[in-house]
């Protein structure tokens, strides 16, 4: 059974940092792209960043470029999202998602992802 479990969310002041984790199980990690999405109240889910588990390639949405960093630990089947210089507009539920992809083709389209975690809340106060 495929499982993605997010952790690390919380409340932080503007300008602060958080690190989210996504622990994956039930599939061959190297064959997938793992991405982070977020959804703020009343808004559509949007892609934040993705990484290829096979070669470590990464891609970022413009809104987080230079502030967020996605990394992975293949030995632990875990993907991280380091979030620095957080802004109130980063407040959202953050989800990790997995897409089967042997050749990295960066995509942050919700419809392309097969598996999703349950989400973790990130709240940035002003």
pLDDT at 102: 81
pLDDT over 90 (residue 101): no
pLDDT over 90 (residue 105): no
Per-residue pLDDT tens digits for 72-82 = 999 999 999 99
Tell me if 119 sits within 8 A of 97, measured CB to CB. no
**15 CB-contact burial (10 Å; exposed 0-12 / middle 13-18 / buried 19+):** exposed
| Residue 18: φ, ψ to 5° | -145, 155
pLDDT at 8: 98
What radius of gyration, in Å, describes the C-alpha atoms of the chain? 13
Cα angle at 72 between 26 and 93, to 5 degrees? 80
Tell me if 18 sits within 8 A of 125, measured CB to CB. no
With cut-offs at 50, 70 and 90, classify the pLDDT of residue 20: very high
């Amino acid at each position: 059974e495929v499982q993605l479990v997010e952790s690390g969310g919380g409340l932080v002041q503007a300008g602060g940092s958080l690190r989210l984790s996504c622990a994956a199980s039930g599939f061959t990690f190297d064959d997938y792209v793992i991405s982070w999405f977020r959804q703020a109240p009343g808004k559509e889910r949007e892609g934040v960043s993705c990484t290829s588990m096979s070669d470590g390639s990464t891609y970022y949405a413009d809104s987080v470029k230079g502030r967020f960093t996605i990394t992975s630990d293949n030995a632990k089947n875990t993907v991280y999202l380091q979030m620095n210089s957080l802004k109130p507009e980063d407040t959202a539920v953050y989800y990790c998602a997995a897409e089967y992809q042997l050749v990295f083709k960066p995509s942050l389209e919700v419809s392309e992802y097969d598996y999703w975690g349950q989400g973790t809340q990130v709240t940035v106060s002003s």
